[in-house]
Amino acid sequence: MSAVEILGRLTLEEKASLCLGSGMWHTAPMPRLGVPAVMVADGPHGLRRQPDAGDPVGIGGSLPATCFPTASALGSSWDPDLVERVGRAIGVEARAQGVVVVLGPGINIKRSPLCGRNFEYYSEDPLLSGVLGAALVQGLQGEGVGACVKHFAANNQETDRLRVSADVDERTLREIYLPAFEHVVARARPWMVMCAYNRVNGVHASQNAWLLTDVLRQQWGFDGLVVSDWGAVHDRVAALAAGLDLEMPPNLGVSDAAVVAAVRAGELDERLLDRAVRRVLELAEKATNIAPAEGFDAAAHHELARAAAAESAVLLKNDGVLPLRPAAGDLLAVVGEFARTPRFQGAGSSQVNPTRVDIPLDELRAAVPPGVEVAFAADLADEAVALARRAGTVVFFAGLRPAAESEGFDREHMDLPADQVALLARLAEVNPRIVVVLANGSAVRLSTWEHHAAAILECWLSGQAAGGAVADLLLGAANPSGRLAETLPIRLEDSPAYLNFPGEAGHVRYGEGVFVGYRGYDAVGREVSYPFGHGLSYTTFAYDDLRVAVTGRVVDENLAVAVTCTVTNTGERAGKEVVQLYVGDPDARVARPIRELRAFTKVALEPGQAATVTFHLDARDLSYWSTAHGRWIVEGGTFEIAVGASSRDLRLTTTVDVSAPPLRARLDAMATLEEWLADPEAADAVRQAVGGEPGGVPHGILGDPELMRVLGNFPLGSLATFPGLGFDRTVVSQLVERFAGERSR
């Protein structure tokens, strides 16, 4: 039976039961009509499938699964093909474990370095988040299982996360916090979207009709199922009406009873309930098409996790000490407990029970040439210093301890533990060749200690195979190719959201507007430790021959800008470069970021090899969101196009002229005289109405430049109250009547 046929046979009570789960991880079954329960499980960087008798809050042990690099690491890979392969592997594991939908990816924007869940998110940039999020969805769904994009929307902190209202203006939502979701919905068609816990501009995301229906379904065309975050529903009836299909975990006996009562009382249109139930039934229908897998190849998935970790590490600094070239007789000192007890994922709902874990120290020992001694010292500072004094090179494993960052709370600072910083200073006194290997999910401050390091390799929380990947990178078996997906500020206080994070009294004001991450640092010319997009390689790349070709027109809705350049590997090793394209609109009439990432690609090049890279932009890539006009707007004029290796390492720049229809203000009594005069046709009408000799000095304010300067920004309706300026109520209402509505778009 189809979903529609089943729907027709359900009682009201049965319908109400279907729009709630039946437990922590299952939708409700309807055995008499052959509807199975559908199992969902957390991701996003590996499966957290709980055993059937799972603990009540669902955080406890789960079945073994491959722990891939977390999103903060995968985000730094800038490699959608890689992320898609990871998605496929997780999809296979889901099929092997009976999971229908994987609860990921998380694509919220990293607004502040302090967000406790930043390790689960890709980037401070919406394009990078959207492209990588879509890749994960495509990988999962390519295996026939569903993905659930989360947390929709503006869930950018953990503080007070179930109640706080993210107070964000619409332009900022449209340009920063929504585009990643829009991209994933449009490009990858996820089966599910999970609403956020928080409120958005006062309304709970679970009950926010503007988000869940107007934007998500009507404007973006989402046709899947909207599920609540676990426990995010406060009023089931309001949530249903707003477009939330499935409540998880189910508030059994309460939510279903409320829905039945609301329909009976005529307070909830039964068609809204039917809509939600149909989507749940459609999900169950999809579930029946999944081909179960006979287990999965844990060794192959571990190898993929290792390759992914290697692709994701960012070489922040290197004075030439890396790659290490140890020879027989050398002593390599390895310092820091993380070398022996690695930290490779974050805590909370995304925590995976790994199939195995690579130990960095063991991996290094196995990878160095015969005769090289790899000696270890943990936190025992004196022992470590004594070892460092004897060693040729020191590899110091540093990072955040598990208690420092997690789902559920935000960080209070972005410093490494003080004992690590102190030990590093002591090590540097006895050995100048110190390589710092970092393991942390969210950004840490480097400016207080980085002068002690000859090289810094940021590995993020890079999954169960991170240890092997670190050995590969340090010894040059792999060439670093990760790039920062977020800016590393000199001080926390420099970060654009600093003064408005995490809010108070139930509200967090997104006061920095669209100036999030590099958009904010660049706008005020603030120095940073390492900029968005930065990352070194063991080889070098040259950029040449930037060309731009414009075809089509904004007015015909077919504008296309093709940007081409050549990238050459000028070093002696094979390597990968992330070519980044930024666009700026320096003459914009609204405040816009100086540059915004609009395209990127990762190219693999052998020594001496060159590749031609082509990017395709459209009108949206040049646009800003106008809240007044309710749409994306391209202002005609000159745009800056820059291609480079980071947001502050722009190698090639050019400009391109684009013409677009002039933007006209809405001409009503509240439009200012200047706005009326800016519109050629309306200006003629105003001049005629105010009068004056043709060709001579106009009457009233129009003939008095001094008055124009002072009162030109008065609305026409207000000018009518001043005698002698040439306007009265009749003149204004005639003008308004003639132009009303016409100039609003």
d(CA 641, CA 616): 12
Torsion angle, CA of 332/334/340/345, rounded to 10 degrees? Answer: -110
Answer yes or no: are the C-beta atoms of 65 and 293 closer than 8 Å: no
Task: Quote the least distance from Cβ 57 to ligand BGC, whole Å.
Answer: 9
Task: Quote the least distance from Cβ 123 to ligand BGC, whole Å.
Answer: 18
Q: Which amino acid is at 644?
A: G
Task: Quote the least distance from Cβ 486 to ligand BGC, whole Å.
Answer: 20
Closest residue to ligand BGC, based on beta-carbon distance: 349
Task: Quote the least distance from Cβ 319 to ligand BGC, whole Å.
Answer: 41
Task: Quote the least distance from Cβ 138 to ligand BGC, whole Å.
Answer: 20
d(CA 655, CA 642): 8
Q: Which is nearer to ligand BGC, 41 or 367 (CB)?
A: 41
Place of tokens 């000018």: 719
d(CA 335, CA 340): 9
Q: What are phi and psi of 516, to 5 degrees?
A: -100, 140
Q: Which is nearer to ligand BGC, 105 or 700 (CB)?
A: 105
Q: Which is nearer to ligand BGC, 349 or 646 (CB)?
A: 349
Task: Quote the least distance from Cβ 111 to ligand BGC, whole Å.
Answer: 17
d(CA 515, CA 563): 25
Structure tokens at 200: 């958005």
Q: Which is nearer to ligand BGC, 57 or 670 (CB)?
A: 57
Task: Quote the least distance from Cβ 614 to ligand BGC, whole Å.
Answer: 37
Angle of helix 80-96 versus helix 126-142 axis, rounded to 10: 40
d(CA 553, CA 357): 54
Q: Do the strands 146-152 and 101-103 form a parallel or antiparallel pair, or are they unpaired?
A: parallel
d(CA 156, CA 497): 11
Query: How far from each other are the two terminal CA atoms of the chain, in whole angstroms?
Result: 47
Task: Quote the least distance from Cβ 397 to ligand BGC, whole Å.
Answer: 29
Whole-angstrom CA distances from 24 to 28, 252, 296 are: 11, 11, 25
Q: Which is nearer to ligand BGC, 58 or 715 (CB)?
A: 58
Answer yes or no: are the C-beta atoms of 190 and 224 closer than 8 Å: yes
Our answer to whether residue 229 is catalytic in this structure is: yes
Give the distance from CA 699 to its chain's centroid: 56
Answer yes or no: are the C-beta atoms of 188 and 231 closer than 8 Å: no
| DSSP state string for 674-718 | HHHHHSHHHHHHHHHHH-B-TTSPBSGGGG-HHHHHHHTTSBHHH
From the number of C-beta atoms within 10 Å of its C-beta (0-12, 13-18, 19+), residue 639 rates as buried
Task: Quote the least distance from Cβ 345 to ligand BGC, whole Å.
Answer: 14
Helices (DSSP H) in 265-324: which residue ranges? 270-287, 298-312
Kindly report the three-state secondary structure assignment for every residue of 19-67.
CEECCCCEECCEHHHCECCCEEEECCCCCECCCCCCCCCCCCCCCCECC
Q: Which is nearer to ligand BGC, 58 or 692 (CB)?
A: 58
Task: Quote the least distance from Cβ 635 to ligand BGC, whole Å.
Answer: 39
Task: Quote the least distance from Cβ 58 to ligand BGC, whole Å.
Answer: 5
Q: Which amino acid is at 319?
A: D
Residues near ligand BGC, by CB under 6 A? 42, 58, 103, 150, 229-230, 349
SS3 223: coil
Q: Of the candidates 189, 207, 191, which has an alpha carbon nearest to the alpha carbon of residue 199?
A: 207
Burial 678-715 (b: 16+ CB within 10 A, else e): bbeebeebbbebbeeeeeeebbbbbebeeeeeebbebb
Q: Which is nearer to ligand BGC, 58 or 98 (CB)?
A: 58
From the number of C-beta atoms within 10 Å of its C-beta (0-12, 13-18, 19+), residue 450 rates as middle
Q: Which is nearer to ligand BGC, 349 or 487 (CB)?
A: 349
SS3 509: strand
Q: Which is nearer to ligand BGC, 120 or 577 (CB)?
A: 120
d(CA 375, CA 23): 51
Q: Which is nearer to ligand BGC, 232 or 497 (CB)?
A: 232
Q: Which is nearer to ligand BGC, 110 or 302 (CB)?
A: 110
Task: Quote the least distance from Cβ 391 to ligand BGC, whole Å.
Answer: 43
Q: Which is nearer to ligand BGC, 231 or 432 (CB)?
A: 231
Q: Which is nearer to ligand BGC, 65 or 103 (CB)?
A: 103
Q: Write down the catalytic residue from 229, 256, 410, 668.
A: 229
**Vertex 596 angle, CA 81 and 635, to 5°:** 125
**Vertex 75 angle, CA 73 and 81, to 5°:** 110
- The residues, ordered by sequence, that sit 6+ positions from 178 with a Cβ below 8 Å of its Cβ are 126, 153, 215
Q: Which amino acid is at 537?
A: S
Task: Quote the least distance from Cβ 548 to ligand BGC, whole Å.
Answer: 41
Structure tokens at 251: 């508030």
Catalytic positions are 229
